[in-house]
Structure 1
């Protein structure tokens, strides 16, 4: 009987250690996720699986132009370390249960960085007075506005590649850098 208890203890101990290591990797290094929706067509499609690097989020780095990132779309919500711990658990549930979606986590492309001025006219995005060359978009954008947007320090501006069918920074505003949860690497 003592040998059986020892064997069970060894198995439980190994499983707990493996889960702890997996959670650390998931929270701080890499995270699998799934595309939900059509806002990134033609680059990404509904149901595609992605691997996201969390290193930039952990380090507080500002992503580069053109990076495809996952964001917490609740731009007025103040994120804490608790969100970084619970988000992977919710993501795992959504990853394995296709009916469960994390509605506030979006996949978008970085268009503007701190200090940039963006304008939307003639079916294009203009950054700092120059039209962007965007071969990745699905079709010309049917969105324009008279005033320009100045991206504040500590924020980025993110848009979907399917501009006419994307909820993004045009509607929620610039995204705080701490709401950029990771960069898609595969």
Structure 2
């Protein structure tokens, strides 16, 4: 009986630690790993970053220039179940899914007009100062986007090698997993 009480004590302690870790990971803070070169030179392939999920938890719109983690599957709604099932321990047990998370920089927020002309980006008619980009984007045609409500426009810092809003479209706010803090 004494041994059973000890085992129960250990199991309940481990269970409580797991629940607390899950809560922190889903709602407050989580590490991610950069995969690929779309954020060069700011972030590098395989670099570990730490993300605050408070912005997502409280449904805040990110600010211009924020580096965010996005769920690239924008054609589906996200739910709390997604957040729980994407907890790293579950991904380890169930097997890692395809790379669905992208690390990108917020360029436009709801209502913004984003334009690419004369090899430069403009937001609401004002040229963007972007000292963080790797090189000038190789694109000859002019483009224009109007960011819809509850969405953002994101791009990688390595514009010539980034799969971002130019290709996948506007990112729903519910698909922003968090904001990089360090």
Normalised to the residue count of structure 2, the TM-score between the two structures is 0.93
How far residue 162 of structure 1 moved from its aligned partner, in angstroms, is 0.5
Residue 92 to residue 43, structure 1, CA distance change in 2 (3 Å): farther
Per the alignment, in what secondary structure is the counterpart of residue 39 of structure 1? coil
Contact 1:158 1:169 (8 Å CA) reproduced = yes
Contact 2:91 2:97 (8 Å CA) reproduced = no
Taking the aligned partners of 1:157 and 1:91, their CA distance within structure 2 comes to 30
Corresponding residue of 1:39: 38
Corresponding residue of 2:110: 114
Question: Alignment partner for residue 152 of structure 1, among 148, 151, 156?
Answer: 148
Corresponding residue of 2:100: 104
Residue 125 to residue 101, structure 1, CA distance change in 2 (3 Å): farther
Contact 1:66 1:111 (8 Å CA) reproduced = yes
Question: Alignment partner for residue 168 of structure 2, among 146, 155, 172?
Answer: 172
Contact 1:40 1:107 (8 Å CA) reproduced = yes
For structure 2, list consecutive stretches of 5 or more residues without a partner in the other structure.
none
Per the alignment, in what secondary structure is the counterpart of residue 148 of structure 1? strand
Normalised to the residue count of structure 1, the TM-score between the two structures is 0.91
Taking the aligned partners of 1:68 and 1:163, their CA distance within structure 2 comes to 14
How far residue 74 of structure 1 moved from its aligned partner, in angstroms, is 1.3
Taking the aligned partners of 1:144 and 1:68, their CA distance within structure 2 comes to 26
Residue 25 to residue 102, structure 1, CA distance change in 2 (3 Å): farther
Corresponding residue of 2:22: 23
Residues 80-99 of structure 1 mapped to structure 2, 5 A cutoff:
80-89=79-88, 93=92
Corresponding residue of 1:183: 179
The runs of at least 4 aligned residues of structure 1 exceeding 6 Å deviation read: none
For structure 1, list consecutive stretches of 5 or more residues without a partner in the other structure.
none
How far residue 101 of structure 1 moved from its aligned partner, in angstroms, is 5.8
How far residue 85 of structure 1 moved from its aligned partner, in angstroms, is 1.5
User: Are 1:163 and 2:148 matched, yes or no?
Assistant: no
Residue 102 to residue 90, structure 1, CA distance change in 2 (3 Å): farther
How many pairs does the alignment contain? 181
Taking the aligned partners of 1:118 and 1:133, their CA distance within structure 2 comes to 13
Taking the aligned partners of 1:101 and 1:83, their CA distance within structure 2 comes to 12
Taking the aligned partners of 1:38 and 1:132, their CA distance within structure 2 comes to 22
